[in-house]
Amino acid sequence: MLLYTETPIKIISFQNKEIASFLKEKENHVHADTINSFGEEWNKFNFFSENEIQYIGNEYFDVVQPSDLTKEMVALDLGCGSGRWSHFLADKVGFVEAIDPSDAVYSAAKLTQEKNNIRITRAGVDTIPFADQSFDFIICLGVLHHLPDTANALAKAVKKLKKNGLFLLYLYYNLENKGFMFRFIFTLANLVRNIISKMPTSVKFFLCEVIALFVYIPFIAVGRFIKVIFPNKNYYKKIPLSYYIGKSIKIIRNDALDRFGTPLEQRFSKEEIKVMMENAGLGELRFSPNEPFWHVIGKRIHL
Ligand SMILES: C[S@@+](CC[C@H](N)C(=O)[O-])C[C@H]1O[C@@H](n2cnc3c(N)ncnc32)[C@H](O)[C@@H]1O
């Protein structure tokens, strides 16, 4: 466990645990509606089974070599949400500091309660309460595309990494590797997201469940059918949402809420992500050829 660089603004008591909060009233990289929305999301989807965590965790970590991680390492999970990837990482490194600015910290504290080498802290990218160059490994999965200035937030986060430390990043792709139909459906979906994400919580939750049931599941069923008919071909990947074939209903419902319930979302091409990472001081980038796009690991080569 690392030392905090400053005194917490408050200490929250939760289930015999204490969660230090460093959240300031006004933070540059905070989009208040988005953070509230995530607090609600992770309190709804606050439990993931070991199988779910391992299955999807292995997809994100396919760019991490087993030899990249050791029990001596201290890791940061930036924007930990439910804490599922902290949980995944805890067996592979020495200690995980997990931070999130939203009410998700309560779900994270609950999900990770059995792991003694995880500490949950309430903070955002602007208030990371650890010294620069503190971490051997940082994960930031599905977070920075929900911030107004992704490049600047990434640069701030990379400062917390030691020289030669590793940064695992996942940012939504802008569908540059997909065809016209895919993009068209996505444009429609984005319009719908803009409307749904502004609705009251209960209506938003309901509509996202409807989308999971009547949009996600049918597309996934078509993808699965094509996969069964052409088991040796990749045709099914042409179907939107085929990524969810084999994923649990809960993951599908959670992701539908994530996609349609979040007010701020940005998307980047592989090249844009490469430039942002290099500008932040990362190099030796390895993009995964597999979904979810794009997840990539880089090493801090410049201080
Ligand atoms: C889609 S969730 C991803 C959570 C987790 N990384 C995962 O993949 O399960 C995005 C998370 O980013 C957090 N977040 C939003 N703004 C942030 C900020 N300024 N700094 C750090 N995290 C932030 C949200 O509270 C939310 O929990």
The two beta strands, 161-170 and 295-300, are antiparallel
Q: How many CA atoms lie within 13 A of 2 on its CB side?
A: 25
> What is the residue extent of each domain of the chain?
10-173+267-300, 180-261
Q: pLDDT > 70: what percent of the chain?
A: 97
Say if ligand 1 is within 6 A of residue 57 CB.
no
Please say whether the beta carbons of 263 and 190 come within 8 A: no
Confidence of residue 278 (pLDDT cuts 50, 70, 90): very high
Backbone angles phi, psi at 78, to 5 degrees: -90, 120
Written as one string, the DSSP assignment of 216-260 is IHHHHHHHHHHHHHSTTS-GGGGSTTGGGTT--HHHHHHHHHHHH
pLDDT in tens, 142-173: 999 999 999 999 999 999 999 999 999 999 99
pLDDT in tens, 226-236: 999 999 998 99
pLDDT in tens, 189-236: 999 999 999 999 999 999 999 999 999 999 999 999 999 999 999 899
Residue 226 Cα, ligand 1 centroid: separation in angstroms?
A: 34
pLDDT for position 39 = 72
Say if residue 26's pLDDT is above 80. no
Please say whether the beta carbons of 38 and 101 come within 8 A: no
pLDDT for position 176 = 85
- The residue whose CA has the least distance to atom 1 of ligand 1 is 142
pLDDT averaged over the chain? Answer: 92
Say if residue 130's pLDDT is above 80. yes
Written as one string, the DSSP assignment of 205-225 is HHHHHHHIIIIIHHHHHHHHH
Say if residue 27's pLDDT is above 60. no
* Tokens linked to 285: 């980038």
* 121-125 mean pLDDT: 96
The two beta strands, 161-170 and 95-100, are unpaired
Predicted model pTM: 0.90
pLDDT for position 30 = 58
The residue type found at 105 is V
Say if ligand 1 is within 6 A of residue 30 CB.
yes
Residue 95 Cα, ligand 1 centroid: separation in angstroms?
A: 20
- The residue whose CA has the least distance to atom 15 of ligand 1 is 35
pLDDT for position 263 = 86
Backbone angles phi, psi at 250, to 5 degrees: -65, -40
Say if ligand 1 is within 6 A of residue 84 CB.
yes
pLDDT for position 28 = 52
Please say whether the beta carbons of 28 and 260 come within 8 A: no
Say if residue 102's pLDDT is above 70. yes
pLDDT for position 29 = 55
Homologous superfamily of 10-173+267-300 in CATH?
Vaccinia Virus protein VP39 (3.40.50.150)
